[in-house]
Structure 1
Amino acid sequence: MAFHTRSNSFPSRPHPIVQEVEEHLCRLRSSEATSTSSSPSISHKLSGLQELHDCVDRLLQLPLTQQALAQEQNEKWANEILDGSLRLLDVCSSAKDVILQTKECVQDLQSIIRRRRGGETGGLTSEVRKYLTSRKMVKKTINKAMGSLKAIANKSAFSSLNKDHEKLREVEAVTLAVFESLLSSISEPKSKTSSWSLVSKIMQSKKVACEEEAEANEFAQVDAALNSLIGHKTSKSQHQNVDNLQNQLNKLESCIRDQEEGLECLFRQLIKTRVSLLNILNQ
């Protein structure tokens, strides 16, 4: 893919789409370095990723790009591009599974709270504990997905590409960084995070220095409300904490819905890009 222009087979000036890819990369890198782990921030990054991969798909439609892919000496490069697109689809699919499991946990707890009769809170504590157990299962799924991210980083993706094609490596690295942000925000919403920690090997760059304490996101707020509910035994305090929990769950459900929609749109875009690659290589 003609991301840079030092090769004699490419024009002397970069195509506007190449510049657009770089602009999207810059915005996403800046967002990863400075933004919080809040759900609106993650949703914004997912939207940015979709725009980035739409640019990549349009870049694939350029005649020069297709000619470069069709050249016999670029067969290894083409195979690595296909492998990279499949890796991103696998990670995105895992992220979708995590969001679905989390949504089901939240909906189950909301349903239990709504079924309370006359405002009675008896037995609710045990149901909260069941929710927390379900959250542990979600975290196991997240740990598995994070393990996949580590494996990708250790492979040093696109290691055989020359400097003309390193932009594609950056596209994959930024995409994986956003996925890591998403998974970390769900699993450990109060921890310090650096979304470049697992993908720095791909980027072959230094770890982002900015590692500020993440603001409490919607997942952390729900966890705090649950712990508060369990910790208060009096009827009056439980009623107050149930009301707070309901509010926090409503906010979390809305954020999960936004992230679910963002992942679905991104997943469709990744599929579209892979289909474009396969069509070009099969010509």
Structure 2
Amino acid sequence: MATTGYHNRSNSFPSRAHPLTSKVDEHLSRLASSESASTSSSLNQKLGEYVDELLNGSLGLLDVFTTAKDVVLQVKERTRGATKGFANEVRKYLSSKKAAKRAILKTLKNLKHEESTALNETYATVSILREVQAVTLSMLESLFSFTFCLYKTPSLVSKLLHTKRVNSKGEQHIKEMANAEASLLSLATSKTDLMQIEKVQNELKLS
């Protein structure tokens, strides 16, 4: 009986990877590492921009506080003047107030510009800090608007008087400041007798 011969074929794969496959894997690994480094660098740059933005906003608010503090000190110095030469002191006060008004308006304008041009982001901490800055800026603007008469809009004072945030004591304070301001303007533009000067001084002491 004749026997039939068979050639056994091996089904095993080569033990070594093809050189081309190794090179592809190597290049893919390099690309992945490069992408990871690029992403990390981009995030660090973005966070750096946020930090700089928040620092600039905080410094701007400090400038507003400093300017307001200087103005209040100047007002106190002007109002401590004696009756003699009081009209000259009034003119100096109005002049210093005008300069302070320009400085405060300029600072508020710069802060608003930074706020409106800020980049959108999803970081919760940055968002909260920005909200704090926005609320602080709004409160400062409302305070200075009727304290230093930043805007020539009588409706602003009227609006403040009718809001729930201003109590009866605050309303009385606003009215006293408005009366004192009107009297000072009258002093600066006309000759005034001694009785009227004393009246203005009393109003300033009450405000």
Alignment partner for residue 162 of structure 1, among 122, 140, 145?
122
Q: Higher relative contact order by CA 8 Å / sep ≥ 6: 1 or 2? A: 1
- The alignment partner of 2:102 has SS state of helix
Q: Which residue of 2 aligns with 1:183?
A: 144
For the aligned residue pairs, the C-alpha RMSD in angstroms reads: 3.5
Cα shift at 1:77: 5.6
TM-score (norm 1): 0.44
Is 1:225 aligned to residue 183 of structure 2?
yes
Partner in structure 2 of residue 136 of structure 1: 98
Unaligned segments of structure 2, at least 5 residues: 1-39, 162-173
Relative distance call for 1:247 and 1:91 in structure 2 (3 A) is farther
The whole-number CA distance in structure 2 between the counterparts of 1:112 and 1:217 is 23
In percent, how many aligned pairs have the same letter? 28
Deviation track 1:185-207 (CA, whole Å, cap 9, x = no partner) reads 3243763688xxxxxxxxxxxxx
1:228-267 pair list within 5 angstroms? 228-230=186-188, 233=191, 235=193, 238-239=194-195, 241-252=196-207
Shift in Å, 1:217:
5.7
Q: By how many angstroms is 1:226 displaced?
A: 0.8
The alignment covers a number of residue pairs equal to: 154
Q: Compute the TM-score of the two structures, normalised by the length of structure 2.
A: 0.57
Q: Does the 8 A contact of 1:222 with 1:248 survive in 2?
A: yes
8 Å Cα contact 2:57-2:111 kept in structure 1? no
Q: Residues 261-276 of structure 1: matches in 2 within 5 Å? A: none
- Separation (CA, whole Å) in 1 of partners of 2:51 and 2:63: 19
For residue 112 of structure 2, give the secondary structure of its aligned residue in structure 1: helix
Is contact 2:57-2:114 (8 Å) kept?
no
Structure whose CA Rg is larger: 2
